[in-house]
Amino acid sequence: MDAAHLDRARQQFADRNPGSRRYFDEASKVLPGGHTRTVLTHPPFPLTFVSGEGATLTDIDGHHYVDLLGDYTAGLLGHSEHRVIDAVTTALHTNVSVGGIHPAEAVLARLMCERFGLDRVRFTNSGTEANLMAITTATQFTGRSKLLVMLGGYHGGVLYFASGPAPWNAPYDFVLAPFNDVAKTVELIERHGSELAAVIMEPMLGSGGCVPATAEYVQGVFAAARAVGAVCIADEVMTSRHGRQGMMKMLGAEADITTYGKYIGGGFSFGAFGGRAALLDQFDTTPGARASVISHAGTFNNNIATMTAGGAVLGEVYTADVAEAHFARGEEFRQQLAAVCARHPLPVSVSGFGSMMSLHATATVPANVREAFDRDHVLQELIYLGLLARGVYTAFRGMVNVGLAHTDDQLATGLDALDDTLSELSALAS
């Protein structure tokens, strides 16, 4: 695809969004890059949103979009789930910030343990924190220091492996494994076994392009890890939305520790890690219970807004039955997206699992991050800009997430917008 087409599309985007440009220019004077989430970066500037209702976003220039991103899976419920909003509002009228225990904390903990099959759970403020604490749990339990991670994995801002360990990562001793290659990953586990504290794995690479692991891979890797005494950590910060108990269990694998985040907070900052009692009880501060205890601080770990919201999410809004049905709806939509891609001569495919998916400017569906990023980058951006011009908001990198608030008509709008975008781009390419 000609780069001149991309320059023209970027200019058209800028011309349509003068308000977002003005806001970005002003914000950049006090915020490096104009924001505090690197993932929001895209040229010439990102949109600024001022309101949301259901599955619709409105930007500062008054344009309305079908939100097919869902805040990178955190916005599963949509923008106006009043069962959550009302529960939090009621709670905050009673109490706001308390330096002690309050009932909503144990309510959410019980819901999580029952839902996801955990012995114990602890709360944090983000998925990043949850993964750092899960790693701490494993290193303290095993007395070892090495961590096996996957190429393309992302476990938070300081645990980033898009093309290997990022230079700003937390200073752990990492062993990098090839995602979805069972033989090579098992060989690495066996080679480093006596030093390996944990294997940490997403069952689907989230920022790596919504590339799901195979059942053979997760089962084989976890079995090999346990054989050498390493702890198996499942990063389900994004993927716990799938099915009744999360994606790992759908793939037939059982983690020792699982991390959570995103949608469970109902729009509030949230993270959690939970799993086997033998591991989590290292945090038990009951007098005389243990000779040594791992300290886990955090002023807002049990904040009233998040704990109340999470209780409403798991207890009322996103029950196991709802999650099971939503998984099926996501599978259907991804098949529909794939059918649209197949109607056009351009190299475009879609990967994913359940209600999480990603569009790729590649001829075939990628099986690992290298294949996902070996794409036509100009075409990828033109698809993103084409969807925006037609009132559909997705991720710059191609991510698409189906939410509870989407109507059938809104999903159809997304399909039509992609069809029209690919038709226009096919004509330009010919």
Supply the DSSP string of 42-59, one letter for each residue. Answer: -SS----EEEEETTEEEE
Say whether pLDDT at 57 is over 90.
Answer: yes
Same domain, yes or no, for 290 and 186? yes
- Longest CA–CA separation in the chain, Å: 75
CA atoms within 13 A on the CB side of 159: 26
- Residue 395 has what DSSP assignment? -
At 288, the pLDDT band (50, 70, 90 cuts) reads: confident
Report pLDDT for 163. Answer: 87
- Which residues partner with 121 through β-bridges? 274
> Each residue of 294-333: pLDDT tens digit?
999 999 999 999 999 999 999 999 999 999 999 999 999 9
Residues 335 and 404 in one domain: yes
Span 347-360, pLDDT tens digits? 999 999 999 999 99
155 and 242 within one domain: yes
The reply to whether 122 and 221 lie within a common domain is: yes
3-class secondary structure, 219 = helix
Helix, strand, or coil (residue 247): helix
pLDDT of 1: 67
3-state secondary structure of 109: helix
Report the CATH number at residue 135. 3.40.640.10
Q: How far is CA 204 from the centre of its chain?
A: 9
Residue at a domain's end among 268, 302, 317: 317
Over range 100-119, report the average pLDDT: 97
In 3D space, the residue among 231, 10, 268 whose CA is nearest the CA of residue 139 turns out to be 231
Percent of the chain at pLDDT exceeding 70: 100
Q: How is residue 368 annotated by DSSP?
A: S
Given 317, 337, 370, which residue is the final one in a domain? 317
pLDDT of residue 430: 82
Return the number of other C-beta atoms located less than 10 Å from residue 361's C-beta.
22
Higher-confidence residue: 1 or 78? 78
Task: Quote the CA–CA distance of 118 and 95 in Å, as a whole number.
Answer: 29
| 105 and 191 housed in the same domain | yes
Q: What are the helix and strand counts (H, E) for the chain?
A: 14, 16
Token pair 């979009």 is found at 65
Buried b (16+ CB within 10 A) or exposed e, 170-187: bebebbbbbbbbbeebbe
pLDDT digits (tens, 9 = 90+) for 382-430: 999 999 999 999 999 999 999 999 999 999 999 999 999 999 999 998 8
Asked if residue 268 and residue 228 are part of one domain, the reply reads: yes
Euclidean distance between CA atoms 209 and 229, whole angstroms: 31
Cα 197 to Cα 188: distance, rounded to the nearest angstrom: 13
* Residue 108 shares a structural domain with residue 43: no
pLDDT at 289: 82
Domain containing 387 equals 3-76+322-429
DSSP 153-191: -B-STTSB-BTB--TTS-S-EEEEE-TT-HHHHHHHHHH
Whether residues 300 and 175 fall in one domain: yes
Token pair 């294949």 is found at 371
- In one-letter notation, the amino acid at residue 58 is T
DSSP string, 268-313: S--EEEEE-HHHHGGG--STTS-SS------TTTT-HHHHHHHHHI
Assess whether 298 and 186 both reside in one domain: yes
Residue-wise pLDDT tens digits, 174-200:
999 999 999 999 999 999 999 999 999
d(CA 53, CA 78) in angstroms, rounded, equals 7
Domain end position, chosen among 317, 340, 359:
317
H or E element: which one contains 58?
Answer: strand 56-59
**What is the pTM for the complete model shown?**
0.96
Ramachandran region of residue 238, left (φ > 0), alpha (ψ -120 to 50) or beta? alpha
Based on the structure, what is the number of domains in the chain?
Answer: 2
Task: Enter the DSSP assignment of 203.
Answer: S
- Cα 202 to chain centroid, rounded: 10
User: CATH number of the domain that 421 lies in?
Assistant: 3.90.1150.10
Mean pLDDT, all residues of the chain: 97
Residue 243 φ/ψ, nearest 5 degrees? 65, -165
Q: Please indicate, yes or no, whether residues 414 and 298 belong to a single structural domain of this protein.
A: no
Tell me, yes or no, whether 102 and 206 share the same domain.
yes
Residue 156's nearest CA partner among 51, 237, 59, 61 is 237
> Using an 8 Å Cβ cutoff, are 263 and 269 in contact?
no
For residue 337, pLDDT beyond 80? yes
- Co-location of 227 and 98 in the same domain: yes
